[in-house]
Amino acid sequence: MSPLHALLENLIDYAGLFPPSALPMARAVENYQRYQQSAEAWMLGRFVVPVSRLDEFEATLTGPAPLTSALMGTDLDADLARIARCPFPIDTIEMKAADAAQIESAMSRVPRHLTTYIEIADVALIPVIQTAGARAKIRTGGVTPEAFPPAAHIARFLEGCAANNTPFKATAGLHHPLRCYRPLTYSADGPSGWMYGFLNVFIAAAVARKGEGPLEPVLMEETFDEHRLTIDDFVTTRREFAISFGSCSFEEPIADLRELGLL
């Protein structure tokens, strides 16, 4: 196994239902099942679906159910009850929280068999997430330039997760391997902006885990650099710390990796 393979294995959670792709359910499910049979299936993670669309998801499925991560809404108890009724296995949920009270209240109700990611904007909440037995989630972009946080914020998040031994996932704006200036949507008249690369974020995570910062320069790199990290560094980082990222496209990251000569 190469260091890059260790970094990329099961890395991409497919979020084709979400902007900017925003695909119909049938198309997104069909895509995921096709990706499962592709030569790049080793890079594929979970299928992300809102709990509010589970009825549609269940009605669409034919054949084996995908590994699924459920995106929770604003009514936690109703969402948990709906997940419990799902005939297909859901073992991961994702939710947002604005303060410690919300995190503690939510985790007092979430069944232990569900792995929970809590999206936060305030990195000071990472110790609360760790104590509550959850994992952290960071939003790294969106469909407007303003949706992309400063590199310093991502660096603080990664350092906070590493210091508190808190696994995390990332979401939004990581369609490309390396930092680049690209269109932020698939619309011809949509905005463009600087996007972080998923290799930047997950290499920075491995650097943070080893305590070998600073991280901001790693996040801003536009060329691939393994930063003297070993296969073991990447394997343990991915298994125990930097779990995955959500992307509305699975094909776009693969095409870029090929263009860079990394696949």
Mind listing the pLDDT tens digit of every residue in the chain (263 residues)?
788 899 999 999 999 999 999 999 999 999 999 999 999 999 999 999 999 999 999 999 988 888 899 999 999 999 999 999 999 989 999 999 999 999 999 999 999 999 999 999 999 999 999 999 999 999 999 999 999 999 999 999 999 999 999 999 999 999 899 999 999 999 888 899 999 999 999 999 999 999 987 999 999 999 998 888 999 999 999 999 999 999 999 999 999 999 999 98
- 């084996």: which residue's tokens? 64
- CA neighbor of 240 nearest in space, from 200, 199, 206: 206
- 């490309």: which residue's tokens? 176
Backbone angles phi, psi at 139, to 5 degrees: -95, 120
Judge whether 95 and 116 are in contact, CB under 8 Å.
Answer: yes
Task: Spell out the residues 6+ positions from residue 250 whose beta carbon is closer than 8 angstroms to its own.
Answer: 12, 14, 16, 31, 32, 35, 40, 43, 44
Backbone angles phi, psi at 163, to 5 degrees: -65, -30
- CA neighbor of 3 nearest in space, from 215, 263, 235, 222: 235
> Which architecture does CATH list for 3-256?
Alpha-Beta Barrel (3.20)
Whole-model pTM? 0.95
For residue 136, give the amino acid letter: A
Q: What is the DSSP letter of 77?
A: H
**Dihedral, CA of residue 196, residue 118, residue 19 and residue 58, to nearest 10:** 140
For residue 168, give the amino acid letter: F
- CA neighbor of 209 nearest in space, from 201, 221, 217: 201
Any idea where the domains of the chain sit in the sequence? 3-256
Tokens at 149, concatenated:
């946080």
Q: What is the DSSP letter of 42?
A: G
**Is it true that the peptide bond before 64 is cis, omega within 30 degrees of 0?**
no
Angle made by CA atoms 209, 193, 200, in degrees to the nearest 5: 20
The phi-psi region of residue 220 (left if phi > 0; otherwise alpha if psi is between -120 and 50; otherwise beta) is: alpha
